[in-house]
Amino acid sequence: MPEISFSGDGPEVYESVRQAVIDSVTGERVEVRQSVIRSLNAASADVRQSAIQQLAGDRLTAEQSIVLRSRGNDISLRECVALGAVGGSISAENCRTVLLLSPSVSGNVQAMITPRTAVALGVGFFFGRHVLRLAARLLGRLLAIS
């Protein structure tokens, strides 16, 4: 797969990727349309109708896309599916996510694991493990008596 890298200390670097399958993109400002990218690292990234495995940067915007992992300071998701999003501030409209970690979240997000769900899973795991240990002890005593 091709790899694209753009950087520099001079004027602002801008790159646009359309209808491509790319392993890695690194740049200052990156715009992606209808593409598949394994890793995208940019100070500012604008992604539309694409699939990204790993999205990282300062200001990230994704619309009608699938993002497995995103990490950034300011993340904006519109009509997206994200496995995990971690950021300083996340704005989302009509999005579904499994894991969302941010001190500031705004918009309509349907999280698969909410704080309430996480507590319920933890308590259920604790009690389930405790019940299984008690059952194993009881079964061990019953078999030892026989």
Q: Assign 38 to helix, strand or coil.
A: strand
pLDDT tens digit sequence for 58-96? 999 999 999 999 999 999 999 999 999 999 999 999 999
CA distances from 78 to 16, 24, 47, 114, 115 (A): 20, 23, 10, 19, 22
Q: Mean pLDDT, the chain, as a whole number?
A: 86
SS3 116: helix
At 13-38, the pLDDT tens digits run 556 778 888 888 888 899 999 999 99
Predicted TM-score (pTM) above 0.75: no
What is the Cα Rg of the chain in Å?
22
Ranges of each domain in the chain: 3-113, 114-146
CB-CB neighbours of 49 under 10 Å: 15
- Tens digit of pLDDT for each residue in 118-129? 889 899 999 999
